[in-house]
Amino acid sequence: MITGNHAAATAAVLAGRANRSGRGFCSGVYPITPSTECMEFLCLQDIEKGHVVKVESEHSAMAVCIGASVSGARSFTTTAGNGLIYMAENVMVAAFLRLPVVMVVGNRAVGPPWNIWTDHSDSLALRDSGWIQIYCGNNQEVFDAVLIAFRIAEDHRVLMPVMVCQEGFVLSHTMALTEIADQTQVDQFLPQLNLPHRLAQTPRVVGSFTSSRMIEAHREQHHNAMRMAWDVYTEAQTDFEKTFDRRPPDPVVTYRTEDAELVLVSMGTIAETVNRVVDNLRDRGLRIGSVRVTMFRPFPFDALKKAFTGISRIAVIDRDISLGFGGVLWGEVRSLAQPGMVVQNYVSGLGGGDVRPEHVEQMVKDALERKTTGPSIFVGVGE
């Protein structure tokens, strides 16, 4: 029985140790609710050929990871909410330098108003930062995702950082039975990191200036590598299953979408609630299903397209808001809408608001009734 934070930290420690035959593990960390316990746990572990630097800010925490990673070490950090936003500049740098850093974000509302509870707005604000983003649904997924994140990040076809998102408190502070792997298994799953562009002794500038046409080429290469991540993820899933005897979730997880008239699309733990509602309402004869997006970047177009086959109504539940637009997830999903399809957005659960089955039922009711897509609807506000 461990919390999401401890699951994440434990996985990070195992992964870090697994690189002891390589160039080791080095991490920069800084406390912030709700990720503090993850960093604390990490700091208290004895990691062979590893070091955790307790820096003076999130910005520096990521900078340490950049320095460590560019030197060929495995690197990990964790933060949340405003911490992530403060870190943002270096978050992007890690990606644009194509460094395989793994970060666990304990999703938290970005203040003010100050609020320490969960919300996807922090990590989604960094949607375009060049990181792979995985949104977890439970503690086990958090543990597994950290391991698999290193695997994808360090794959030479990918080589970019991965953000593992767990909802603050909902996962980070909730204890649940979690299967922990042993070191030999992790050693087997995560071979030593061999960074091709490691900064060693050869004179070379990492992160130098480029002309306009050259930066386009580098962005294109980065973009193409993102698209490789699906294949690499699939391979990793299989390998993971072989090693640990359980399979991490697909980039898109469907639940009872067959013959559905309406699917509810969500990320993170809300999907569990949605699934419960699906079961209830299916019992009452409503043809509804649930789709959970676990990998938000690269965005799983194909898997979602497949999941939406034959469906005419989509309800997208966003635990985030792009002000002046609507839910971020909704925006992405809507790009897959076929003509005549209703793709309605429901914003709920910001700042840790509990998204209960009643809220989801409200959404289902509205989604089934409406003729056209309307503006985003806030559900549960002010209760």
Partner 1 sequence: MNTKAKDTEGSENRGVSGCDLKSVLSKIKLPLEIRIHGRGGQGGVTCAKLCALVYSRLGLFAQTFGDYGMERAGAPIRAYTRIDGNPIKNRNKIYTPGHLLILDPSLLESGALVGAPHGSMVLLNTPDRLSSFHGFCEEFRFAIVNATQIARKHGIGASSVVIVNTAFVGAYARVVSLPIEMVRETYSSLGLLNDFAAAQEAYDAVNIREAITPVRFPDEAPDSVPGSPVEVIPLTELTQDMPTPLKTGSWRTQAPKYVTLTPPCNYACPAGNDVVGFIQKFHNFGLEASSEILLATQPLPSVCGRVCPAPCMESCNRALYDGAVNIRGLERWIGDHASNYPIPVKASANPKTVAIIGGGPAGISAAYFLARAGHKVDILDNQAKLGGVLRNGIPAYRLPEDVLDRDLERLEALGVSHRPHELITPLRLKQIALEYHAVIVATGQAESIIPRLAGVDLPGVEQGLTFLNRVKSKGRENIRGTVAVIGGGNTALDCAGTTLRCGADKVVIVYRRGQTEMPAIKEEIRDILVEGVELVLCRQPVRIIGDKAVTGLEVAEVELGDPDESGRKRPLVTNNLSVISCDHVLIAVGQTANRGILPSDWVVTKQRVYAGEEPTNVWLAGDFSAAEGTVAHAIGSGRKIAMDVMNCLSDSTESCVGNSSSIPELVSADNINLFCFPRREILEDIHLDVSTRTHSFEEVNLGILSGEESRRCLSCGNCAHCDACLIYCPEGIITRSGQDYLINLDYCKGCGICVYECPRHAMEMSLKS
Partner 2 sequence: MNRPESYQNSHLLRPGNTNCGGCGMSIAFQMFKRSIGDTPVQLVLPACCAAVAAGGFPFSAYGAPVLLSTFASAASTATGMAQVARLNSEDIRVVCWAGDGGTYDIGMASLSGAAERNEDILFICYDNEIYGNTGGQRSSATPAGAGATNILKGKIEPKKDIMSIIAAHGIPYAATVSLADPDDARRKFQRSIKEKGFRFLLILSPCPTGWKSDPSMTIELVRLAVRSGLFPVLEVENGSRWTINVEPDFSKDDLARYVSLQRRFKKSEIKPDEMGAEIDLKWKTVRMLAGCNTGV
Nearer to partner 2, 44 or 206 (CB): 206
Nearer to partner 1, 209 or 259 (CB): 209
154 φ, ψ to 5°? -90, -5
Give CA–CA dist 142/5, Å, rounded: 8
Kindly tell me the sign of the dihedral angle through the C-alpha atoms of 178, 183, 189, 195: positive
Tokens of 180: 């922990």
Residue 204 as a binder of partner 1 (CB under 8 A): the answer is yes
Angle at 160 (CA atoms; ends 224, 172), nearest 5 degrees: 125
3-state secondary structure of 129: coil
Report 175-214 residues binding partner 2 (CB under 8 A): 199-211, 214
Nearer to partner 2, 87 or 317 (CB): 87
Residue 221 as a binder of partner 1 (CB under 8 A): the answer is yes
Distance in Å, CB of 237 to partner 1, minimum: 24
Report 141-200 residues binding partner 1 (CB under 8 A): 156, 159, 196-197
Report 7-26 residues binding partner 2 (CB under 8 A): 23-26
Nearer to partner 2, 21 or 184 (CB): 21
Nearer to partner 2, 22 or 289 (CB): 22
Residue 98 as a binder of partner 1 (CB under 8 A): the answer is yes
Give CA–CA dist 183/25, Å, rounded: 15
Tokens of 179: 């299967």
Residue 17 as a binder of partner 1 (CB under 8 A): the answer is no
The DSSP H or E segment spanning 318 is: strand 313-318
Helix 58-70 / helix 81-96 crossing angle, nearest 10 deg = 30
Stretch that binds partner 2, among 55-63, 267-275, 301-309, 339-347 (CB under 8 A): 55-63
Stretch that binds partner 2, among 66-74, 287-295, 298-306, 373-381 (CB under 8 A): 66-74
Angle at 338 (CA atoms; ends 337, 342), nearest 5 degrees: 65
* Residue among 224, 236, 218, 240 nearest 298 (CA): 224
Residue 287 as a binder of partner 2 (CB under 8 A): the answer is no
Binder of partner 2 out of 57, 185, 188, 243 (CB under 8 A): 57
Give CA–CA dist 275/368, Å, rounded: 17
Nearer to partner 2, 62 or 236 (CB): 62
**Binding-residue total with partner 2 (CB under 8 A):** 46
**Binding-residue total with partner 1 (CB under 8 A):** 16
Residue 66 as a binder of partner 1 (CB under 8 A): the answer is no
Distance in Å, CB of 260 to partner 2, minimum: 47
Give CA–CA dist 145/361, Å, rounded: 30
DSSP per position, 56-103:
SSHHHHHHHHHHHHHTT-B-EEEE-HHHHHHHHHHHHHHHHTT---EE
Binder of partner 1 out of 203, 310, 339, 340 (CB under 8 A): 203
Distance in Å, CB of 65 to partner 1, minimum: 17
Instruction: Give me the residues paired with residue 133 across strands.
Output: 163, 297
The DSSP H or E segment spanning 175 is: strand 175-176
Residue 217 as a binder of partner 1 (CB under 8 A): the answer is yes
Nearer to partner 1, 219 or 306 (CB): 219
Residues forming contacts to partner 2 in the complex (CB under 8 A) are 23-26, 28, 49-51, 53-57, 59-73, 75, 89-90, 93, 199-211, 214
Residues forming contacts to partner 1 in the complex (CB under 8 A) are 96-98, 156, 159, 196-197, 202-204, 209, 213-214, 217-218, 221
